[in-house]
Amino acid sequence: MKVETAMLQDLNQWRQMAEDRLRAADSWLCVSGLFWLRVGENRFGTAAHNEVELPQSIALPDAGSFMFDGEQVILHAAPGAAVLVQGQRATHQVLASDADGAPDVVFVKGVRLTVIRRGTRMGIRMYDPQTPAFLNFAGLQWYPPDAAKRIQASFVPHAEPKPVQIENVIGDVRTVLSPGYAQFTSDGRHHRLLAEPAATGAGLFFNFQDSTSGRTTYPGGRFLEAPAPENGTVVLDFNRAVSPPCAYTHFATCPLPPPGNKLGIAMEAGQQYKVAGERSC
């Protein structure tokens, strides 16, 4: 179906922004490590004895340690080590994790370290802008824009937000309150997708698979954000369906689609599986 000029321009601009985010020094293409912390001292540096081993290019055998007491992570920088937190020289401080909103960022000679919380576990995620995936990134692959894949779906709210168990790729389970589901007809078949609240704003988030999953799109599914429903209708623009972070790094902890969120058709729209010039996970 022909795509209107205004829609095409907006979509192309949105896709360019998605690619630009991957070119940032803190993008998923830079994620090169994930280290789960044990209670007590967790040393970091380039030497092999460190629990958090940094890239050898840094040439800093012992940079300090992360003390984990089961609840919080405390940074102890080694004397003389050029360790920064939020751009400021650091020696000893409690670090905010991603569960606190924006995590503190520890800089060690260009490498970024952040604390993540998954269930009862805490870990250190490492970003290295010298990874081949980041250095060789040449853009994303997309299906051609298709106006027919921008679907006006009915939105059916739950009488009360429905608790849904969402599992991630490392086996953790969290409860999400689903506001309802979208239903629509495509290729002569009726479809239904459970919605989750969007991470930001008042919109909706859909985590889904379809018949392209594992063939031309990421095997674990794709993500789609949609604006808040209006008058019982939600716009599902599958031209904006994107791969999850796990498509770019082995060190992401992506949520899996909720039970039932697999379309029985090939939704040939949005992002394809391969990252141009680099393999995907």
Q: What is the mean pLDDT of residues 232-260?
A: 96
Residue 54 confidence (pLDDT): 97
Count each helix (H run) and each strand (E run) in the chain, helices first. Answer: 2, 20
CB 261 within 8 A of CB 210: no
Q: In which band, very low, low, confident or very high, does the pLDDT at 279 lie, cut at 50, 70 and 90?
A: very low
Question: Tens of pLDDT along 206-215?
Answer: 999 999 999 9
HEC profile of 221-254: CEEEEECCCECCEEEEEHHHCECCHHHCCCCCCC
Residue 178 has pLDDT above 50, yes or no: yes
Beta-bridge partners for 31: 127
Residue 1 confidence (pLDDT): 55
Q: In which band, very low, low, confident or very high, does the pLDDT at 4 lie, cut at 50, 70 and 90?
A: confident
In the chain, % of residues over pLDDT 90 = 89
Residue 275 confidence (pLDDT): 44
User: How many residues are recorded in the chain?
Assistant: 281
CA torsion 31→37→40→44, rounded to 10°?
-20
Q: In which band, very low, low, confident or very high, does the pLDDT at 193 lie, cut at 50, 70 and 90?
A: very high
* Alpha carbon distance 3, 9 (integer Å): 10
- Alpha helix stretches (DSSP H) within 54-211: 132-135
Question: Tens of pLDDT along 122-172?
Answer: 999 999 999 999 999 999 999 999 999 999 999 999 999 999 999 999 999
Structure pTM? 0.91
Mean pLDDT of the chain: 93
Q: What is the mean pLDDT of residues 17-29?
A: 96
Q: What is the mean pLDDT of residues 179-202?
A: 93
Q: In which band, very low, low, confident or very high, does the pLDDT at 273 lie, cut at 50, 70 and 90?
A: confident
Q: Is 68 helix (H, G, I), strand (E, B) or coil?
A: strand
Q: In which band, very low, low, confident or very high, does the pLDDT at 281 lie, cut at 50, 70 and 90?
A: very low
Radius of gyration in angstroms for the set of CA atoms belonging to the chain, rounded to a whole number: 21
CB 122 within 8 A of CB 263: no
Residue 11 has pLDDT above 70, yes or no: yes
